[in-house]
A and B are shown apart, each in its own frame.
Chain A
């Protein structure tokens, strides 16, 4: 069973699916959606089967394969997963079908075809699987850069009114980070060439190198900056609010839920094991960025009037917790950080989706345009509240477990940073409950007040120009069956993982423990 090429299939199936969808004749939108949903469900099934085939007590990397690719430079097409990568693949498997379902009713003005959107989604899925499954650093780099392309088009072609600006900004930031990382990747190759006699990009071989501390620092920075932009950490964050708010909801979910996790995944997979001395050297600086980000982004989230921007800022704050957990260098905090990546994808994914459903009804992203929605749409309000509570890490929801693990695991080694980070939970309650109160509570008010008017014409800043709100009677305000089907699995995961997270922790912990021992037993 373990020889079955799960990982290759998880890349190939959506990649081929993307080609098929792209080749569909214009106007066959429904077929494109059906194919995309089918393909993404197959990937989910593969992810679940791969997890079943994964031996928790076994080798660090499993389900692996390696084929020489560019033999002259020792580049291999090598795949394999540890527990950390595996849970990220599960997250991808869950989120992509949900995103396809959530995009079902999205329309372009003039009835233009949406097939391209679904093709880009599937291609993005293939690249995201690749980036987590690669065990060759060069292959990782290729997927890391390749991910940009579908996301660029998802934002730039299907986003809000300022989509061009946001897409370019996203692309340039990522490209700069990627180029710096490329230099570091080449640097690694040079070091391996001189130490091992022949250059390699294989992660396992690179892990055994004894790199000079000065060189380590340079290479660490190369990787770190790329990952810090991707994650993003303050002050490399300003692209995310624009991308997150201008991207179509489906794109925003994958951007914040999965794509950004490549950054924090990179810290754990590459920065800590390959450059242990440099990681320890730079840890205080990283922790300053992490904790400053938690508080700074939370305050900024409170000040936003645009719901999508608000959710984007909350994510930056959450990424600070993840970075804190990683750079606290304990198994508990690191395990918590990885679980945080998964939980954040689910919780913030749901929050983005529900916000998107609200925007689809009112045609505005502005908090001030809504009020008292709960009375008219109790299911929508309930899902909104649950997503919000998960975002503020209420016990009983999945996020509590990960945030608690990060904080309790960081406290013994980094008490001051942890205390400051813990204060962030007050701000989290503020930004969520302020948004919830303003949109859902109070007397009915704003764009949803009139019962049967057409949604306001998209106009000016804050309105979604490209994807228009569906033109149906607004009497039907609450979630319909399709929307319930999208929300339900995420709601269930939030509760189940909040009460019984141990199966995921069992997957994650050995990989984190191995990473910490790579780091040199400072645990």
Chain B
């Protein structure tokens, strides 16, 4: 870690990054209907302004010798030994996230102007979206774990509000609540990690914790690492807390693109990368991160193969791709940058894919069932082209983004030079095949084949305010991998955070890895063609399917497990306790009172005459006392 210096110049104003969208949200929420006409423009302007500030700050940072500056703002909470100051940390890691959040955020705000044009709640939508951007920027810019936690739960609130945006739909309301609750489970882990840091080190800011973590006992560091991981799993939809993310697709599609694909759900990856000084000390916790990532990437990919809802397929794809990122950062120093590069590339292509899906839904009267699509490439050429590029980038066809960033993760796993590393690489390659399968299935069902549209649907290309952001993101999907891995390596930019990149001794040459992954991906494409492409797709899903398909359709029974392990026992327990409290505890106390009082019905029949006179008697006494007091004072 390089030394952190106080910010000067524009960087001293980097709090504006957060303040601008926050002010936007406040104006739109407090302004009410008066701001309906221009609210979406203000909401977009604040995020674009933040992006500009972020660019300027990052340029200034690039010119500094010590690429880490802090902005001290004010005392947030100070009591006893605890001293939490509100402050920001601008370093290469936070700068990268700032640009991703405000850049992709700007594009999605612009897209939403068109997408939400006919929605009565458009102003409210932009207010929540601005709130999200502010909270997310606080999450990545905060210089302490408490600031991170405030942003962490802040994005959870924004996510809740946006999933429930169409709250009259019960499914949306339930999905929002589920997302918040499952996130809170993770938040408990994050909170306990912070408590443990304070108990051990007396501080919660990054500089203090990372500087002293070496003095903490190994078991405690592992505990901190695992608790942080629990928080990361909740936010990033990783096993065992993955079930909320697909349901979150109930929110408007721009939300799915920004929050549930490009930025918020990658916060877990940010957390682990930010805490690299902690994870460097605990191989045990890193191993668990690896296991979580590998398991989740498979779960997501398998479930993605079976769904017919276009957004759910993309959502499980996100779960799976974040699994790759977890796998990467779990590898330690060799993998941090690979994970972040994939995060960046994923931010482009998955946001682009979601915006494309939104464009399709826009054209199909909000239909999400791919069995009701088909043959759309002719009707929506721009959507098809940009979506297609995102598709190629996601499944990792050279030279698009995924080919560089996904292969870098596989190489990093192989570079462990042990059985576990080979196993992880194998899982990642298998996942690549599955990814190619489910994404090809999605492409075939949506854009190719015979139209299976419902009556009265007349697909059309979306307006330019929507297609323009899709085009920009498609360019990112094509170029970001090459740029970040080869042309201007992210590892150089991140060197002040994670150290200089080392040239590892490869077991298998990168070209060979590329070849293997490409072959496996082509296999996945071919299988998808065999199963989906060459025959007519029924408009209703077949019922008689193999147990494997049934399990995949149920996302490997994650909801079933949650319901039977937590929800139903919880409801049963709650009902039992309500009964106990009404009959048992209250009854026991009443009974005791009755026994002592000698009458079993004193409370039940409420002999108010008795109590009332007692109360009045007390009041009389009090008046007498007051009178006595006055007499004494006067005397």
Q: Which residues in A have some Cβ–Cβ distance to B below 8 Å?
A: 67-70, 77, 142, 145-146, 148-149, 152-153, 156, 164-165, 167-169, 171-172, 175-176, 234-238, 296, 299-300, 302-304, 330-332, 335-336, 372, 374-375, 382, 389, 394-396, 400-401, 404-405, 407-409, 411-412, 415, 418-419, 422-423, 425-426, 429-430, 433-434, 437, 440-444, 500-502, 505, 509, 513, 523
Contact = CB atoms under 8 A, between A and B. Distances in A.
A409 B603 contact: no
Contact of B574 (A300, A500, A509): A300
Contact of A152 (B167, B603, B615): B615
B606 A238 contact: no
A317 to B, nearest CB: 12
19 contacts: A69-B628, A70-B628, A146-B618, A149-B618, A156-B608, A164-B608, A300-B578, A331-B80, A331-B81, A401-B77, A419-B192, A426-B181, A437-B173, A437-B176, A440-B167, A441-B170, A502-B76, A502-B77, A523-B80
Nearest to B156: A394
B79 A171 contact: no
Given A142-B622, A419-B192, A330 B80 contact: yes
Contact of B188 (A396, A425, A440): A425
Please classify how large the interface on chain B is, using the bins under 10, 10 to 19, 20 to 34, 35 or more: 35 or more
A434 B581 CA distance: 20
B228 to A, nearest CB: 15
A448 to B, nearest CB: 14
Interface in B587-606: 589, 593, 603-604, 606
Interface in B152-191: 152-154, 157, 160, 164, 167-170, 172-174, 176-177, 180-181, 184-185, 187-188, 191
User: What 9 pairs across the A-B complex have the smallest Cβ distances?
Assistant: A331-B80, A441-B173, A395-B150, A411-B195, A303-B578, A238-B586, A303-B574, A332-B80, A412-B199
B264 to A, nearest CB: 15
Contacts of B168: 372, 375, 441-444
B173 A502 contact: no
B509 interface: no
A433 B180 contact: yes
A422 B606 contact: no
Given A142-B625, A434-B177, 12 more contacts: A68-B632, A149-B616, A149-B619, A149-B622, A165-B606, A169-B603, A330-B80, A405-B77, A408-B82, A415-B199, A437-B174, A500-B76
B37 to A, nearest CB: 18
B195 A396 contact: no
**Do most interface residues of chain B lie in helix, strand or loop, or is the interface mixed?**
helix
A405 B603 contact: no
A443 B164 CA distance: 13
A156 B612 contact: yes
Contacts of B29: 382
A168 B77 contact: no
B77 A505 contact: yes
Contacts of A335: 79-80
B170 A149 contact: no
B194 interface: yes
Contacts of B629: 67, 69, 77
Given A167-B611, A401-B77, A425-B188, A442 B606 contact: no
B75 interface: yes
A444 B619 CA distance: 48
B157 A389 contact: yes
A437 B195 CA distance: 32
Nearest to A415: B199
A422 B154 contact: no
A335 B83 CA distance: 13
Contacts of A441: 164, 167-168, 170, 172-173
Nearest to A295: B577
A502 B288 CA distance: 39
A500 B185 contact: no
Given A299-B573, A395-B149, A433-B181, A336 B615 contact: no
A430 B181 contact: yes
A513 B80 contact: yes
B181 A303 contact: no
Interface in B5-37: 29
Contact of A411 (B78, B199, B586, B618): B199
B57 to A, nearest CB: 23
A419 B227 CA distance: 12
Contacts of B176: 437
Contact of A418 (B79, B154, B195): B195
B87 to A, nearest CB: 14
Nearest to A516: B80
Interface in B57-115: 74-82
Contacts of B181: 426, 429-430, 433
Contacts of A165: 603-604, 606
B196 interface: yes
B618 A145 contact: yes
Nearest to B608: A164
Q: Which of B75, B187, B612 has the most CB of A within 10 A?
A: B612
Contacts of A404: 77, 146, 191
B615 A411 contact: no
Contacts of B506: none
B581 A238 contact: yes
A76 to B, nearest CB: 10
B633 interface: yes
A124 to B, nearest CB: 12
B198 interface: yes
B170 A442 contact: yes
A498 B546 CA distance: 54
Nearest to A436: B177
Contacts of A408: 82, 194-195, 198
Nearest to B581: A300
A357 B630 CA distance: 42
A156 B612 CA distance: 9
B575 interface: yes
A146 B79 contact: no
Contacts of B530: none
A267 B603 CA distance: 29
A478 B622 CA distance: 43
Contacts of B74: 500, 502
Nearest to B135: A396
A145 B622 CA distance: 9
Contacts of B616: 149
B17 to A, nearest CB: 17
A370 to B, nearest CB: 13
B464 interface: no
Contacts of A169: 603
